[in-house]
Structure 1
Amino acid sequence: MSLIVRVLAAIALVLGSVTLVAPVAQAQGPGSPIPAADPFYSWDGSLDAAPGTVLRSRPMVFSTPTLTTPITGEQVLYRTTDQQGNGAVTAAAVLRPLIPGPPKIVSYHMAYDALGSQCDPSYTLSGGSTNRIAGAEQAVIAGYLAAGYTVVAPDYEGEEMEWTIGRQSGYAALDGVRATQEFLQLPSNTPVGLIGYSGGSVPTQWGAEVAPYYAPELNIVGAAAGGLPVDLAHNLPYISGSDNWSGVIPALIVAYQRAYGLDTASFLSEYGAELIQEVANQCIAEFAADYPGLTDADMVRAPYNSLLDVPEVIEAINDNIMGSTGTPSTPMFLAVGHSDPIGDTVMITADVEGLAHEYCGRGVDVQYSQYNGLTHGDAFAPFEAQGLQFLSERFAGLPTRSNCATIGVGNSLAPMPVP
């Protein structure tokens, strides 16, 4: 049995019963504060250094709150760039493979979907607090390490936990690769693969999109993104009133307030203001299903009937439509579940299809998969298995499996008019 088949089988076994949104209690890691209270993550010095420069580092062990492994690595704090183009810092876990060989890097983007630092990948992968989502992704990362890949898992939301913010998530992912190359003294032409599902699709897709102008020296051989939030103006009406996902609505407002300085007092209802305070330091397993039936209209006050009536909200959402900033120069694997006429219960199937179609029209080599009958949580396991196969073939230099000729037009990705 080949190595890739063994790893695929292991991932399928581990992930077969994973539910991405099931809330479970956070388990505190042994002997270390969360990043927000840890001086390692703070930087008061100059940010004149080049993006990707390592500012400080310390050893770590790949572990859970109850299990220590023989896999070692480093936490690195590095310089990156925020959504507005200013210097910023964030951290990453850099993990060495179990099997030495020619260097190859996988930038694995965890779906930590967090407004609080206790879910930062650099922390959870070193034995910090964890939940079912992080545990499942840690099993996938272990598969890549066992297969001989160096893995970097960046805290791509940055210090302010700005969830779903596009360009800066991509910058943080690319700068995490640069930091890994610098720290491990690897050449800039070391082959790199990007992968992430759900929230992790944001740095994956945006990383591939901005790489041609932001990090052209990186040798990105492929990018695999699944369950993508292509245009949140489409997702908001879809999850409004949902039993399992409506808690995302106040969380998104918190993230956009942090990234864009939204004047939330000018449009939130009293209830909406209460909710953003409640979720302000939580992670998705805590808030997603905690407000069943919450609607978009519940969040706002007169004269607004929806968040999509608020000009500054629309402007911020339009600034994060995937495909709007650049064109990837690497092969792409895009995938999404499809469990009802609209999507996978949270992501819009025709949006992902529309992004794939748009990229094909620009000459990008795209492989698109649609998992009919599968919800967002159910589609995680097949995406991870197919994503591993896609990246393994790219690292091996095998022919791509583009299906651009059969991808439908999907939804328009045109920005929403600002009222």
Structure 2
Amino acid sequence: MRLRPLLTTAVLGAAALAVPGAVAAPAAAAPSTAGCTATDEEIYAAPPSAIQGDAGDLLACREAVLSNVPGDIPMKAWKVRYVSTDVKGNENVVTGTVAIPEAEWTKGGSRPTVAFNPGTLGSGPQCAFSKQLAGQYVDMYEGGNLALFLKEGHAIAATDGVGYLQGQVHTYMVGANAGHALLDIVRASRQIPGGSLRADGKVGISGYSEGGAASLWGAQLASSYAPELDVVGAAAGGVPGDLKVTAKALNGSLFAGFLADALVGLNAAYPEMPFTELMNENGEKAIGNVRSHCLFGTLAVFLGARVENFSTDGLSLEEIYALEGPDGTTWGEIVDRQRLGEDIGAAGSGARHEIGFPVFQYRGWLEEIIPHETEDATRQRYCAAGINTTWKYTYPTEHLSTDWGAAGDVTNFLDDRFEGKPAEGNC
């Protein structure tokens, strides 16, 4: 019998179902300042015109029950709203989840924290990881991954990523936004009233697919953006390291919804660039679909879609890359800025992005969404830069199931780093 990849089956099944619409965003409200007593409306409210605070400052929090983390693990958990920095250097506001096991940490030192970025969830407001972990919407698949960390005694600081506040759209695959948000939620996690995380706690970074790209961006930015954090390791799987290579493979495929998410997400981060004015009626509808659906709904809507069908001039990807913004910057240059492994080096190398800790990268043998050549090339760039890199590509899994298939290795890799064990790497 021929093996049909798990995610392919899920996409084809989703395409046959009615897709839910957007959940209305809550009305804006002033954040609560008295402990973790914020309402949901306050957590996800639109950001103020002037953001008060520095990157990593906790703005609001509320206690949460993470019903989509299996195992009945005793923990305390909170939704959080915090300050971060966007790709242009401006302050922004991001949301996420912090969870701390109630079991005592017994492996020496302060309890460590895993900075976690989920894989693709979609761009509708209801898709935020913090909402899904709390059971307000269910279209995610990584609660079990978090359970493994929590069972080991690790705290979790899981960012939603930029763009899940009222009136926003997720800036999908924008590297600096993702990396900053991932590092800043660790800073914010240590400010929770009633929390127990300390400033000297070690930090590990983890994510798969979109989260894998975010994990490597967090690793690349850690030394310059958050040098006070004791980051000891990063794990990243299913990484779309070069968006141009990935986009070419996605266009017209079963998984074109990921490309739609990326195009709309890039536009959200770079609104000055030509985009919405290029759209035909199908394109305008497509933008609305991206902004309202979660993962499987987006994949169903864009099944087999080609980017050429959404603009009045039938623009190809290459023609879109050639378009210039008001300062002469092209879309192609912006997309290239998101490429991972550029100007990286080991600690003390003088590279723009110094990484002084081990990195674990991985992919499934049956990977069918992210081209093997870009995942392999990202690993090769890390090795060439002298970064301690462990690489594994022998999981007998396709894209989605690799996330689960590698979860034990990821947990063990970070736990070893927290315990101070050396990583030999296999470059």
Query: Normalising to structure 2: TM-score of the pair?
Result: 0.80
Q: Is the 8 A contact 2:19 2:297 kept in 1?
A: no
1:374 positional shift:
3.2
Measured after TM superposition, the shift of residue 180 of structure 1 is: 0.9
Aligned residue in 1 for 2:315: 304
**Which amino acid counterpart does residue 272 of structure 1 have in structure 2?**
G
Asked whether the 8 Å contact 2:172–2:262 carries over to 1, the reply is yes
In the aligned structure 2, how far is the partner of 1:214 from the partner of 1:122?
24
1:199 aligns with 2:222: no
Structure 2 residue 143 is matched with structure 1 residue 138: yes
Partner residue of 2:96? 92
Question: Which secondary structure does the structure 2 equivalent of 1:297 belong to?
Answer: helix
CA–CA distance in structure 1, aligned partners of residues 210 and 319 of structure 2: 21
8 Å CA contact retained: 1:61, 1:70: no
Label 1:317 to 1:182 Cα distance change in 2 as closer, same or farther (>3 A).
same
Select 1:229's aligned residue among 240, 252, 274. 240
Shift of 1:282: 1.4
For 1:351-387, what per-residue CA distance to the aligned partner results, in whole angstroms no more than 9, with x for missing partners? Answer: 1221222122222100011136532123222221221
Query: Which residue does 1:408 correspond to in 2?
Result: none
Are 1:40 and 2:35 an aligned pair?
no
Residue equivalent to 1:63? 67
Structure 2 counterpart of 1:400: 423
1:335 aligns with 2:335: no
Report what 2:334 is aligned to: 316
Matched, 1:257 2:267: yes
Q: 1:347 aligns with which of 357, 363, 370?
A: 370
Paired residue secondary structure (2:182):
helix
Matched to 1:200, the amino acid is G
Q: How far apart are 1:33 and its partner, in Å? A: 7.8
Give the TM-score of the pair, scaled to structure 1: 0.82
Give, as a single letter, the amino acid of the residue that structure 2 aligns with 1:107: A
Distance 1:138 1:62 in 2: 9
The equivalences for 1:144-183 within 5 A come to 144-158=149-163, 159=165, 160=168, 161-183=170-192
Contact 1:18–1:378 under 8 Å retained in 2: yes
Shift of 1:279: 2.2
1:246-297 deviation per Cα after TM superposition (whole angstroms, max 9, x unaligned) = 1223222211111111322454444333322222221222112433322233
- Specify the code of the residue in structure 2 equivalent to 1:245: F
SS in 1 for 2:244: helix
Shift of 1:191: 0.6
Rounded to whole Å, the distance in 2 between the matches of 1:148 and 1:46 is 38
Question: Cα deviations across residues 30-67 of structure 1 (Å, max 9, x unaligned)?
Answer: xx986677233224375342211111112112214999
* Residues 119, 127 of structure 1: alpha-carbon distance in 2 compared, 3 angstrom cutoff: same
Give the distance between the partners of 1:331 and 1:63, measured in 2 at CA: 33
Residue ranges of structure 1 left out of the alignment (5+ in a row)? 1-16, 405-419
Q: 1:398 to 1:66 in 2, by over 3 A?
A: closer
- Aligned equivalent of 1:11: none
Q: Is the 8 A contact 1:90 1:172 kept in 2?
A: yes
Instruction: Kindly indicate whether the alpha-carbon contact (under 8 Å) linking 2:255 and 2:304 is maintained by their aligned counterparts in 1.
Output: no
2:134 is aligned, of 122, 126, 131, to 126
Consecutive unaligned residues of structure 2, counting only runs of 5 or more, are: 29-40, 323-329, 344-352
What SS class does the counterpart of residue 346 from structure 1 fall into? coil
Q: Summarize the Cα distance change of 1:280–1:216 in structure 2 as closer, same or farther, 3 Å threshold.
A: same
| C-alpha distance 246-27 of structure 1, shift in aligned 2 (>3 A) | closer
2:404 is matched with which residue: 378, 381, 384? 381
Cα offset, 1:222, TM superposition: 0.5
Give the Å deviation of 1:401: 3.4
Counterpart amino acid of residue 269 in structure 2: A
- SS of residue matched to 2:231: strand
Q: Over residues 58-80 of structure 1, what are the superposed CA-to-partner deviations in whole Å (9 max), with x where a residue is unaligned?
A: 21122149998753211121111
Match of 1:222, SS? Answer: strand
Q: In the aligned structure 1, how far is the partner of 2:220 from the partner of 2:85?
A: 15
Change (3 A) 1:307 1:274: farther
In 2, the alpha carbon distance for the partners of 1:151 and 1:33 equals 28
Aligned residue pairs total 377
Residue number in structure 2 paired with 1:115: 123
Identity in percent: 26
Change in Cα spacing, 1:52 to 1:196, as seen in structure 2 (3 Å) is same
Instruction: State the distance in 1 between where 2:231 and 2:242 align.
Output: 25
d(CA) in 2 for partners of 1:27 and 1:246?
A: 19
Match of 1:360 in 2: 383
Work out whether residues 63 and 69 of structure 1, in 8 Å CA contact, stay in contact via their aligned partners in 2: no
Q: Is the 8 A contact 1:235 1:348 kept in 2?
A: yes
Q: Supply the distance in 2 between the matched residues of 1:35 and 1:324 (Cα, whole angstroms).
A: 40
